[in-house]
């Protein structure tokens, strides 16, 4: 309780100007929080004392400045980076309103820099040359490697020199299809060093998906490896690339070079299929190049990379990020949302094939001079304790993962967690989907021993970095809430008509002005960029997600607005019903969709995965439904519970509701594009259980 009082006190003495920020009014009042004591989890005094942002008051001070004077706020931060030449007079320029012409966002235009220089050279110059930049943990326990900042710089320079040698120039695209080897961040950084634009394709995508992306940006070179082992499975990546390159050549796009890393632990050189005139072994050429390479200086607004969204809702979108704003934004969000300190060991379980791997495996941590773990394998191999084994091995202090992983580990015995110490941990993080309060509590109580704040970071491929996120030393947390907007982010909730709603409310999550990490266009399709994100609510960036704000000003993501279910006039977010189901001790995972219902308009159809070893039964079905009735109300009770041995997920682990909707309404011949699905077999299993 002393903790609690300290926070309430600090809120009572909030600067009065903070009240001008409408959605923070409630929290400024303090009493609102005091009355909700039971829902709140406070950071310890010790944690807050050492934090970059130790109190709501400090947050408000900084947030207020970031909104009232974005140019000053961000240029102060940007000044700590290396710029060959400072940006022009105008720090940023924006038009987010389709009625006023084309959508345009620019930050630090005219500033000349290089993100690879800021990740590596700057840190080496600052004396961090011998600090470990990357700890690599292989698929098999005991197989590992490290790279210091100086070693990483040398490796990056060698590849950069090779790429220049084969004619890759500033602005050229490079397609990367690599698993989580050191060579993946090395490749991203080498591209950045010479001003080339990387397009990393998650090395789990099919040949068709890869071919589509190759045809889209027509690279001179594709970089891959021969194979990878994930768990006990060997995946022949080079065969997939061969097939993709054949397919793209049929569409008239031929690639000159396929640079292939020999991943010896998975497959030997000799057994790899080879095309002499096109394929080159990485190990044959790269080590011969010099370990220094002059940097290609680029404008802040020159493109850094191209990355497709996960494809949860339909055809993936080729998101384009530029250099300067992205650099400043990822570094700053990393520092504050994880309360990063130089002594931290950071591990993010995401693959570099997703935005999380771009911003928070590669760029954000390296820009901060951090030591980061990257992991090649599967989190449950050789057993479900692997993550905690890795945490202990490297003494990980910040652990960032996705709700899907948390839920899957919850299915197994807690003993897999408790047999490891996990004492080094101080901050946990979650991203990708709303985290159900029961998964949040398991993560917090068991994994973090009730002492590590959880940064539930809401953001998107499009946003480049965190948008709504706890600052771990500042905020009392509510399990399942992403809390408050990051500095400079004017997150607003609008109604159907696009009118902002204040106070306690629920609606469409939008952003009112630009932030440095915002995407600038969709590759080759600026019109789709405007139509998808800026036309639905003119004047705002529309996220596509639903959100509610409680009386204390906390934000709760309710899922994608396309997924909202309307039952007899009640608008129900999928996240809420799923959380009620998952809070049942025998339910491991749940996905809820709407189906047509004669009386109610829409009915609720729930797919439910049970905890390992629990049999299906009518009794259990009833007890699951009862959980929802009790927690939300009778109107939200599922009309149907469909047993699901597994759920269809994207390769980044998100539930694909559009496929579930088709199964629920038995439109089985209209499943649509399933190429981004991780395991297509799941669909057949689900269909087979439809009437059980």
Binding site for Mg ion (CB under 5 A): 309
Is position 651 an interface residue for ligand ATP (rule: CB under 6 A)? no
Instruction: Tell me if 351 contacts ligand ATP by CB under 6 A.
Output: no
* Minimal distance, residue 436 CB to ligand ATP, in Å: 11
Q: Is 460 in the site for ligand ATP (CB under 6 A)?
A: yes
Alpha carbons within 13 A on the beta-carbon side of 298: 27
Would you count residue 344 as binding ligand ATP (CB under 6 A)?
no
Report d(CA 658, CA 68) in Å as an integer: 40
CB 185 within 8 A of CB 352: yes
Nearest residue (CB) to Mg ion, 549 versus 560: 560
Q: Could you tell me which stretch among 6-14, 37-45, 51-59, 457-465 binds ligand ATP (CB under 6 A)?
A: 457-465
Half-sphere exposure in the Cβ direction for 425 (13 Å, CA): 29
Q: Is residue 579 at the binding interface for ligand ATP, with CB under 6 A as the rule?
A: no
Residue 517 binds which entry of Mg ion, ligand ATP, none, with Cβ cut-offs from 5 to 8 Å by kind? none
Q: Which is nearer to ligand ATP, 226 or 312 (CB)?
A: 312
Nearer to ligand ATP, 3 or 206 (CB): 206
DSSP tag of 597 = E
**Closer of 419 and 571 to ligand ATP (Cβ):** 571
**Position of minimal CB gap to Mg ion:** 309
Residue 545 engages ligand ATP in binding (rule: CB under 6 A): yes
Which of 560, 584, 642, 657 forms a contact with ligand ATP (CB under 6 A)? 560
User: Which CB sits closer to Mg ion, 161 or 404?
Assistant: 404
DSSP letter string over 430-495? E-SSPPPHHHHHHIIIIITTTTS-EEE-B--GGGSS-SB---TTTPPB-TT--BSBPTT--EEEE-
Q: Closer to ligand ATP by CB, 138 or 353: give it.
A: 353
Dmax (CA) of the chain: 72
Candidates 82-90, 416-424, 543-551, 662-670; binding stretch for ligand ATP (CB under 6 A):
543-551
H helix intervals, 223-301: 237-250, 282-285
Cα separation, 369 vs 365, in Å, equals: 6
Give me the least distance between CB of 273 and ligand ATP, in Å please.
32
Closest to ligand ATP by CB, 394 vs 442, is: 442
**DSSP-based three-state secondary structure for 218:** coil
The 8-class DSSP code of residue 139 comes to S
Nearest residue (CB) to ligand ATP, 205 versus 459: 459
Number of residues binding to ligand ATP, judged by CB under 6 A: 27
- Alpha carbon distance 684, 323 (integer Å): 44
| Run of H or E residues at 297 | none
Q: Which residue lies nearer to Mg ion by CB, 136 or 519?
A: 519
Position 483 contacts ligand ATP (CB under 6 A): no
Residue 431, C-beta contacts closer than 8 angstroms, at least 6 positions apart: 350, 356, 400, 401, 402, 456, 457, 458, 459
Cβ(498)–Cβ(537) under 8 Å?
Answer: yes
Q: Does 653 bind ligand ATP (CB under 6 A)?
A: no
Residue 642 interacts with, from Mg ion, ligand ATP, none (CB under 5-8 Å by kind): none
Judged by CB under 6 A, the residue of 24, 128, 350, 431 near ligand ATP is: 431
Residue 204 as a binder of ligand ATP (CB under 6 A): the answer is no
CB of 555 to Mg ion, least distance (A): 17
DSSP codes joined into one string, 530-595: IIIIISSSTTSEEEEEEEEE-TT--EEEEEEGGG-EEETTEEE-HHHHHHHHHTSTTEEEEEEEEE
Rg for the chain (alpha carbons), in Å? 24
Scanning 34-42, 418-426, 454-462, 490-498 for contacts with ligand ATP by CB under 6 A, the matching segment is 454-462
For 78, the 3-state DSSP assignment is helix
Q: Out of 364, 369, 432, 507, name the contact with ligand ATP by CB under 6 A.
A: 432
Q: Which one of the spans 52-60, 180-188, 410-418, 542-550 is the region binding ligand ATP (CB under 6 A)?
A: 542-550
Distances, alpha carbon 122 to alpha carbons 128, 214, 590, in Å: 9, 33, 46
Q: Which is nearer to ligand ATP, 131 or 526 (CB)?
A: 526
**Residue 545, contacted partner among Mg ion, ligand ATP, none, CB below 5-8 A by kind:** ligand ATP
Catalytic residue, candidates 46, 76, 562, 679? 562
- Sign, Cα dihedral of 182, 185, 187, 190: negative
Sole binder of ligand ATP in the list 313, 418, 623, 631 (CB under 6 A): 313
Q: Which of 172, 433, 563, 576 binds ligand ATP (CB under 6 A)?
A: 433
- CB 658 to ligand ATP: min, Å: 9
- The span from the CA of 203 to the CA of 219, in Å, is 17
- Closest contact distance (angstroms) between CB of 566 and ligand ATP is 19
3-state secondary structure of 506: strand
Of 332, 397, 438, 457, the residue at the interface with ligand ATP (CB under 6 A) is: 457
| 434 touches ligand ATP (CB under 6 A) | yes
Q: Which of 330, 461, 477, 513 is in the footprint of ligand ATP by CB under 6 A?
A: 461
Contact 136, 117 (CB under 8 A): no
Both tokens of 96, joined, read 């987010």
Q: How far apart, in whole angstroms, are the C-alpha atoms of residue 489 and residue 63?
A: 9
**Residues 577, 636: contact at Cβ < 8 Å?**
yes
Alpha carbon distance 685, 599 (integer Å) = 30
CA distance 386 to 639: 38
| Binding-site partner at residue 434 among Mg ion, ligand ATP, none, CB < 5 to 8 Å by type | ligand ATP
**Pick 311 or 507: Cβ nearer ligand ATP:** 311
Measured distance CA(301)–CA(195) in Å, rounded: 12
**C-alpha to C-alpha distances, 306 to 82, 200, 366, 676, nearest whole angstrom:** 23, 8, 20, 18
* Of positions 30, 316, 364, 437, contacts ligand ATP by CB under 6 A: 316
Q: Select the span of 14-22, 53-61, 309-317, 601-609 touching ligand ATP (CB under 6 A).
A: 309-317
Q: Is 318 in the site for ligand ATP (CB under 6 A)?
A: no
- Residues 342 and 132 sit within 8 Å (Cβ to Cβ): no
Annotation marks residue 299 as catalytic: no
Task: Provide the mask over 496-535, with x wherever binding to ligand ATP is found by CB under 6 A and - wherever it is not.
Answer: ----------------------------------------
- What 3-state DSSP class applies to 621? helix
Catalytic residue numbers read 562
Q: Which chain residues interact with ligand ATP by CB under 6 A?
A: 309-313, 316, 354-355, 430-434, 456-461, 482, 543-545, 557, 560, 652, 654
């Amino acid at each position: 309780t002393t903790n609690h009082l300290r926070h309430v006190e600090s809120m009572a003495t909030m600067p009065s100007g903070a009240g001008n920020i409408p959605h923070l009014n409630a929290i400024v009042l303090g009493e609102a929080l005091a009355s909700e004591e039971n829902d709140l989890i406070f950071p310890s005094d010790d944690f807050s004392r050492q934090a970059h942002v130790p109190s709501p008051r400090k947050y408000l001070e900084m947030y207020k400045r970031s909104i009232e004077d974005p140019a000053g706020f961000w240029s102060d931060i940007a000044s700590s980076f290396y710029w060959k030449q400072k940006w022009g007079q105008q720090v940023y320029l924006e038009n987010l309103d389709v009625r006023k012409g084309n959508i345009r966002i620019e930050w630090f235009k005219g500033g000349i820099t290089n993100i690879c220089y800021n990740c590596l050279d700057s840190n080496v110059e600052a004396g961090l040359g011998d600090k470990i930049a990357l700890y690599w943990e292989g698929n098999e326990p005991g197989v590992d490697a490290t790279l210091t900042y100086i070693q990483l710089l040398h490796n990056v320079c060698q590849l950069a020199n090779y790429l220049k040698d084969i004619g890759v120039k500033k602005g050229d695209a490079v397609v990367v299809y690599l698993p989580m080897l050191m060579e993946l961040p090395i490749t991203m950084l080498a591209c950045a060093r010479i001003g080339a634009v990387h397009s990393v394709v998650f090395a789990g995508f099919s040949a068709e998906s890869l071919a589509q992306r190759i045809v889209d940006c027509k690279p001179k070179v594709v970089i891959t490896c021969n194979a990878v082992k994930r768990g006990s499975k060997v995946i022949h990546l080079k065969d997939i690339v061969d097939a993709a390159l054949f397919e793209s050549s049929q569409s008239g796009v031929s690639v000159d070079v396929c640079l292939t890393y020999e991943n010896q632990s998975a497959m030997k050189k000799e057994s790899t299929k080879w095309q002499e005139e096109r394929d080159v072994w990485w190990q044959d050429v790269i080590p011969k190049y010099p370990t220094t390479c002059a940097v290609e200086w680029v404008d802040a607004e020159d493109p850094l990379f191209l990355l497709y969204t996960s494809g949860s809702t339909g055809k993936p979108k080729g998101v384009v990020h530029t250099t300067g704003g992205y650099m400043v934004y990822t570094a700053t969000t990393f520092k504050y949302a994880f309360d990063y300190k130089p002594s931290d060991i950071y591990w993010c379980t995401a693959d570099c094939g997703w935005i999380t791997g771009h911003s928070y495996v590669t760029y954000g941590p390296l820009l901060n001079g951090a030591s980061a773990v990257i992991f090649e394998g599967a989190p449950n191999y050789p057993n479900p304790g692997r993550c905690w084994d890795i945490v202990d091995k490297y003494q990980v202090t910040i652990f960032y993962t996705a709700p899907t992983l948390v839920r899957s580990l919850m299915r197994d015995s807690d003993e897999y967690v408790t047999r490891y110490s996990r004492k080094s941990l101080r901050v946990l993080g979650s991203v990708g989907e709303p985290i159900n309060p029961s998964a949040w509590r398991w993560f917090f109580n068991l994994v973090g021993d009730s002492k590590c704040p959880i940064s539930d970071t809401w953001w998107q491929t499009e946003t480049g970095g965190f948008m709504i996120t706890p600052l771990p030393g500042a905020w009392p947390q509510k399990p399942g809430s992403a809390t408050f907007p990051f500095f400079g982010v004017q997150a607003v909730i609008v109604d159907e008509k696009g009118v902002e709603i204040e106070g306690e409310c629920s609606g469409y999550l939008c952003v009112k002005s630009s932030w440095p990490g915002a995407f600038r266009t969709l590759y080759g399709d600026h019109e789709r960029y405007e139509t998808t994100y800026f036309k639905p609510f003119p004047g705002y960036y529309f996220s596509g997600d639903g959100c509610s704000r409680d009386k204390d000003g906390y934000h709760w993501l309710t899922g994608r607005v396309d997924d909202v279910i309307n039952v007899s006039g009640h608008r129900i977010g999928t996240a809420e019903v799923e959380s009620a189901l998952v809070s049942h001790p025998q339910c491991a995972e749940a996905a809820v969709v709407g189906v047509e219902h004669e009386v109610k308009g829409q009915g609720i159809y729930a797919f439910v995965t049970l905890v390992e070893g629990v049999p299906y039964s009518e009794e259990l079905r009833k007890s699951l439904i009862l959980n929802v009735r009790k927690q939300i109300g009778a109107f939200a009770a599922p009309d149907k519970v469909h047993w699901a041995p597994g759920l269809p997920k994207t390769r980044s682990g998100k539930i694909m509701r559009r496929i579930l909707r088709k199964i629920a309404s038995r439109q089985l011949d209209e499943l649509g594009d399933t190429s981004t699905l991780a395991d297509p077999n799941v669909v057949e299993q689900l269909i087979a259980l439809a009437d059980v």
